[in-house]
Every structure is written in C-alpha cells, then in structure tokens.
Amino acid sequence: LLSICLYVWFKRSRIDGSEDTLVKHYSQKTRRLALVGLFAVALLMVLSGGGWNRWHNLQKHQIVVLVADFKNLQSEDRGVEESIIDQLGNALAEYDDVKLQALKEEITAQEGSKVARAKGKKHHADIVLWGWYEESKTNIKVTVKFEVLEKLHYLSSVETKPLIQPIAKLDNFEIQAQLSEEMSYLTLFTIGVVRYEAQDYEDAIARFTKALEFVPDAEQAIAQDTDTALHALYLYRGDAYQFQETQHHTTYYNKALGEQMFVVLTDEDTYYNKEKLEQAIADYTQSIKIYPKFAVAYNNRGHAYHHKGELDQAISDYTQALKIYPKYAKVYNNRGLAYSEKGELDQAISDYNQALKIYPEFTGAYNNRGLAYSEKGELDQAISDYNQALKIYPEFTTAYYNRGNGYYKKGELDQAIADYTQSIKIYPKQAEAYNNRGVAYYKKGKLDQAIADYTQTLKINPKFVAAYHNRGVIYSEKGELDQAISDYTQALKINPDNAITYTKRGILYSEKGKLDQAIADFNQALKINPKFALAYTNRGYAYSKLGNKQKATQDLKKAAKLFADQGDTFQQQIVLALLNKLYSDPK
C-alpha cells in the first residue's frame, strides 16, 4: 500500500520524447488521495510498531504493574491499594524484572476497562490493578479488576469475582490481606505465562511455583478454580518441565558391515530428562484432579508418558482426552505415534486417518502416516502422503527429508538426492539430511561428494556418529587408512558400544600390520556382541598371520558355525576356505 501511494504521488511521464516536458500522469484529486494514504500508512506503522514494542517488552524486559487507588463508594478510604502494593512488593521483591508502581488516582466503574487500559499505556504498564468497594451495615463488597494490556496466546483473559465479606474483616485487614494474596497469585501467574511464551521455562516454573504460595487452601482453590485458573497453572508448569531440558540426539541403523549408516528421523530422536517428566506428570495429574474434563491435560500427560517410554499409559491418556473431546485431531495424531512406536502400524494409520478426517490439512498427520506406510514397506503410499503434506505446506523440510528416504529405499537415488537437497535448502542445519545425501552419493559411486556431505554433517553436529563411520568407510575404500582409522576412533569415543566400528578399525589395523591392535579391537567387538561372526573371522585371520594356528582355528570354526546358524552360506564358505588354507599350510 505504501509503495502504491508513493508511486501515484510521484509518478510523472514524458511526452513527445522530450527530456524537459513533463505532465502529471494522475489527476490532482487522485494524487491528494495518495498523499492522505501515505499519512495513514505511516500512522498505522507507528501504531503497530508501538504494539509490537510493548509485546516485545512484555516478553523480554521489565514488567510494570500499575496499581490504582481503590474508591470507597460510601465513606472514607480504607487503604486497600496500599495493602495490595505492600503485599505485592514483598511477593515480587526477589524479581528484578518486575516494577510495582502506584497510579495515585482512581479508576471508577463508570470509566471502566477502556480508561484503565489507556492509563496503563500512558504509564508504560503491562498489568493494571484497579477497582472499588462498597459497604452495607454488615458486609463489604470489593471488586478488583486485573487488566493484562497485551493479549497473551496462552492467557486470553483474567476474570475475578467480587469479594463479599463481613465488614469487620475490613477493619482488621483480613480482606486486604486476602485481596493482596489473590493479586500476588494472579500477577505471578501472568508473569509465569509471559516467561513461558518467551520459552524461558526455568523462570516460568519459578513464577508458577511462587504463585502457588499464595493459594493457602488447595481444596478451596479447587472449588473456586474459575477465579484462580489453578488447573491452567499446573498445565503450563507441567509443559515447562517437559520443554525445559529437551535434548536432541541421533539414531541410526545399518544392515551389514559394508553398508553406510542411513539415518531415520523418528520421535525417538529427542531425549527427555526423566526427572523433569515425572514433575510434569505430577502437575498434569493435579490439573486433572482440579478439572477432570481437561482434555489438554490428558493429552499432555500422555505426551510425557510417551517420552518416558510408557506407551500403554500414554495411549490410555490420549484415549481419555478423545472421550472428552472426540474432535481433537492432535490427540489422534499423538496416539498414532504411540501405536507406531509399539509396532502396531495398522492402528497408527487408523488414528492418522481419523486426524485427517477432522482436519484435512494436518501436514504432520500426513507425514506420520507416510512414516507408518514406509515401515510397512508400502513406499508408494508413503511417498503419496509426503506429496500431500508438501502440497499443503511446500516448506515442510521433514516431509522432503522423509520422501527422500522413501526414494532411497526404492533405489531412486537421483530423486532422493533432490529431496535431501531441498530439505537442506529450507533448513541448512539439518545434519541428518546431509548424512543421508552422502549415503545416496556413496551408492552412486560419487565418493568425494559423499565425503563433503559427511564433513558438513560433522560441522553441524560434531557428535554425529554415523557420519564418522560413513566417512571412515569411504576413506578405507580409497586406501586412506590413517584417515579411516581416525574417523572410526572418533566414532568410538562418542559411542564405545559399537561392535561393527571396532571390527572395521581392527581390519584396518590388520591391513597395516598392527596385529596386536587389531586383535584388541576384535576382542572388544566380541565383548559387546559375542555372536558377531565377522569379528571371529577377522580375529582368526589375525591369529593366523601371527602364526597362532590353534587360536586361528578356534575362531574360524566359531565364525563358520555362527554364519551357518544365521543362514549366511556365502560367508560360511569364505570362512571354510580360510580354514582349509590354514590346514594345508605346513607351517
């Protein structure tokens, strides 16, 4: 709009090819309208910028709580706001990011919320406390308003009910104390939500926990939860515990000693701190106790059980959430993930179907159903689901990555490489995509490109074991044994329980004539996996080169038997040939 207005205002055109003769392209009236538009757009930019600035301050900087004077509608002032300010000051004293400020003027019921918010903005406040009270002969009714100036995603509004108590409680300051506790609770709860939205989970937990100190009677709070939103506080604190110490790690698999390690991203790629999960579950349980029909709490507790590996309990919670709210597409998706982890793929697919029936543009459900089809070996259906996810959301990097894996499994390497490349283009720090593109390049015989991808993988994530292993395989094939050994050594520092990598490094030590080091590696591999036939084969071969015919024979016989038991007749014949050569050798 700004560009159009500028264009209309300044636009002139030449006529007759003359450099000096200019005429107005638009009428004077049109140009005046454009000028008005310029001022309007500028004003909107200022206003929206101010709104963004207040929201940004609420997220990151000092929070200002403004407390107005409380008007007594009948008689003299009772000092309610002074008591609230004193109590809030004590409650917030330990937090240097919160400032308490007295307005020193009243906001009446007639002026209402609009005036309260205007005064709050004038004083750069984020929260405004205001209200009034009125007395009868026996009782007093206190109305307190709690205004949060900038709307929070996780806290749409805060409602408080008028407090009606015997007037004697005002004289002995019981009502002031009660109001102060409620305002302290609401203020700390709100600040906790602010910190939660800013993903400062440690600070959010601290504020939520401090807020609970101002709920003196838990059972009473449960009964009056519409005032305290206590069920929401426990939910958010539970979420904060879940999110606080999430760590990423990489899993991989390989089918045989000579293959590259191909990474499959699953929900298991996230490590969750078990202690934090227990704390989260306790909070969700409390939230459900307060509000038994809280479907979100059941879903989130299910999520915590899920990441503890307690899949049956997770499924139970997801099911309960769906009983309360049958159109909860996200829960069908989550239950589908749990079924998928249990290997119950048909039930998982059924849940993803239901999620998509409720919400046809649920890209995550298409992606997850694609993964389930892939696990079943139904690669065309999997690719179809990834296509649909990408049709809805063309920047869905995980769908490109997973579709690349599908093409790789089908042997369509060029299409796999194209998808990994697109995934990297959208998210350049996705180490797994570099690794798997490297595997695809390796399969195509493009070893230097594969090495470049593994190297980039390790720049992004220096603890990516599969990339060290894969690069070591290529260096080995290129005859660069020292570099290969270095990569296998680095892989073993990160994951010392990998029998395959010990065996591979042992083979290279054997090729270099370092037979003692080779045998030490084969010993370690067999300690990890006592039925690893290839380790017996190579240790037997190393013993034969050392002239220890007895140990060589024992190892080769053991390897031949293991290969036979595993149905690998090809490897068995190779080992039997080595045995025959050993028997025929006069030495």
Residue 378: phi and psi, rounded to 5, are -90, 75
Q: Are residues 85 and 20 in the same domain?
A: no
Q: How many Å apart are CA 118 and CA 62, to the nearest integer?
A: 19
- Note the pLDDT of residue 371: 96
Packed helices 295-308 and 311-324: angle between N→C axes, nearest 10 degrees: 170
Specify if 150 maps to a domain: yes
Better-scored residue on pLDDT, 480 or 100: 480
Last residue in a domain, options 165, 183, 198? 198
Answer for the pair 174, 165: CB distance below 8 angstroms, yes or no.
yes
Indicate the pairing of strand 247-248 with strand 270-271. Answer: antiparallel
- Note the pLDDT of residue 221: 44
Residue-wise pLDDT for 408-450, tens only, equals 999 999 999 999 999 999 999 999 999 999 999 999 999 999 9
Q: Are residues 75 and 138 in the same domain?
A: yes
Specify if 174 maps to a domain: yes
CB neighbours of residue 26 within 10 Å: 16
Q: Using 50, 70 and 90 to split pLDDT, how confident is the model at 130?
A: confident
437 to each of 23, 378, 440, how far by Cα in Å?
Answer: 60, 22, 5
CA 123-126-129 angle, 5° bins: 85
Answer for the pair 128, 117: CB distance below 8 angstroms, yes or no.
yes
| CA neighbor of 472 nearest in space, from 249, 254, 268 | 254
Q: Are residues 98 and 178 in the same domain?
A: yes
Specify if 101 maps to a domain: yes
Residue 188's domain is classified under what CATH number? 3.40.50.10070
Answer for the pair 268, 340: CB distance below 8 angstroms, yes or no.
no
Residue-wise pLDDT for 341-381, tens only, equals 999 999 999 999 999 999 999 999 999 999 999 999 999 99
Helices and strands (H, E) in the chain, number of each type: 28, 10
Residue-wise pLDDT for 281-340, tens only, equals 999 999 999 999 999 999 999 999 999 999 999 999 999 999 999 999 999 999 999 999
- The count of residues in the chain is 587
Specify if 352 maps to a domain: no
Query: What are the DSSP calls for 237-285, one per residue?
Result: HHHHHHHHT-EE----B-SSTTSPPB----GGGEE--HHHHHHHHHHHH
Last residue in a domain, options 183, 198, 213? 198
- Note the pLDDT of residue 76: 56
Report the predicted TM-score, pTM, of the whole model to 2 decimal places.
0.77
Specify if 27 maps to a domain: yes
543 to each of 239, 530, 548, 551, 582, how far by Cα in Å?
Answer: 57, 18, 5, 6, 11
Q: Are residues 21 and 73 in the same domain?
A: no
Q: Using 50, 70 and 90 to split pLDDT, how confident is the model at 193?
A: confident
Q: Are residues 118 and 150 in the same domain?
A: yes
Q: Are residues 81 and 36 in the same domain?
A: no
Q: How many Å apart are CA 401 and CA 256, to the nearest integer?
A: 23
Q: Are residues 67 and 192 in the same domain?
A: yes
Specify if 219 maps to a domain: no
Query: What are the DSSP calls for 165-223, one per residue?
Result: EETHHHHTTHHHHHHHHHHHHHHHHHHHHHHHHTT-HHHHHHHHHHHHTT---HHHHHH
Q: Using 50, 70 and 90 to split pLDDT, how confident is the model at 223?
A: very low
Q: Are residues 68 and 144 in the same domain?
A: yes
**If you average pLDDT over every residue of the chain, what do you get?**
82
Say whether pLDDT at 164 is over 80.
no
- Note the pLDDT of residue 29: 52
Domain that holds residue 141: 62-198
- Note the pLDDT of residue 538: 95
Better-scored residue on pLDDT, 142 or 449: 449
Q: Are residues 50 and 174 in the same domain?
A: no
Last residue in a domain, options 179, 198, 217? 198
Q: Are residues 104 and 42 in the same domain?
A: no
Specify if 21 maps to a domain: yes
Q: Are residues 152 and 80 in the same domain?
A: yes
Answer for the pair 159, 63: CB distance below 8 angstroms, yes or no.
no
Into how many domains does the chain fold? 2
With 0-12 CB in 10 A as exposed, 13-18 as middle and 19+ as buried, what is 356?
A: buried
Specify if 209 maps to a domain: no
- Note the pLDDT of residue 533: 96
Please tell me the least confidently modeled range out of 127-141, 165-179, 375-389: 165-179
Q: Are residues 185 and 100 in the same domain?
A: yes
Dihedral of CA 213/214/215/216: which sign?
positive
Enumerate the H helices of 444-498 as residue ranges: 447-460, 465-477, 481-494
Percent of the chain's residues with pLDDT above 90: 55
